[in-house]
Structure 1
Amino acid sequence: MQLDPLVFTAIAAMAVATYATRFFGYWLVRRTTVSGRLAGALEAVPGAVLTAIIAPMAFATGVAESGAALLTVLLASRLSLIPAVAGGCLAVVGLRLLLG
């Protein structure tokens, strides 16, 4: 197995870019006062990222996954995050067993 220098350079550049954005993001947030709209936007990021990752998979796979995603959304509107995620996991397992 040989490593192409161009592939190695691309991987190294992606690693540096990832580290730099994390480092400078933490550095910037520590040196500024976060309030108002910026605080609201930063609080919405984890939910938005999770939705962007899960939504395409939930609707592109099957009925069990779509039903579990819907149930998880309903649970999340009533419960905290951990019970909602646990309920969604149990729902997808149960629906896969029932629906095949």
Structure 2
Amino acid sequence: MDDLAIFWIILAAALATYATRVGGYVLITRMRTLPPRLEQALNAVPAAVLTTLWAPSFFTGGWDIRLALLAAALVSLRYPPLVMLAAGWAAALAARHFLGL
């Protein structure tokens, strides 16, 4: 694939991303009230995005990654994000050091 084809692919992806973001904004701002189903769908987006971020690592990574993700998930239920990050990092470090993973 040549450089020009890659340029057009990147440009098309950028335009599609921009159009969907602007289109969603314009659509929602034109509504006076959000239908209940749309509001429920929008409330589900953060959980869906979070799942798409951690699920591939959890299922394809090693045990050190799984332990780090589990530790971070448990700590995130009670503590702020920085503490969650430190707990996940410490769990991965401990698994790699003590378990040789």
TM-score under structure 2 normalisation?
0.73
Distance 2:49 2:58 in 1: 14
In the other structure, the counterpart of 1:5 is 4
Q: Does 1:73 align with 2:73?
A: yes
Deviations along 1:20-60, one digit per CA (max 9) or x if unpaired, are 11111122122222252322221211221121121111221
Q: Distance in 1 between matches of 2:12 and 2:75?
A: 41
Give aligned pairs, total.
Answer: 97
Change (3 A) 1:49 1:99: same
Output the CA distance in 1 between the equivalents of 2:47 and 2:88: 16
Check conservation: 1:72, 1:87, Cα contact below 8 A: yes
Secondary structure, counterpart of 1:34 in structure 2: coil
Instruction: Return 5+ residue gaps in structure 2 as ranges.
Output: none
Q: Give the letter aligned to residue 12 of structure 2.
A: A
AA of the residue aligned to 2:21: R
**Percent identity over the alignment?**
41
Give the TM-score of the pair, scaled to structure 1: 0.74
Would you identify which runs of 4 or more consecutive aligned residues in structure 1 move more than 6 Å? none
Q: Which residue of 2 aligns with 1:26?
A: 25
Letter in 2 for 1:9: W
- Read off the aligned partner of 1:19 and give its amino acid letter: Y
Deviations 1:40-86 (A, max 9, x none): 2212112211211211112211111111222233334x325624444
Distance 2:41 2:9 in 1: 31
Amino acid at match of 2:30: R
* C-alpha RMSD of the superposition: 2.3
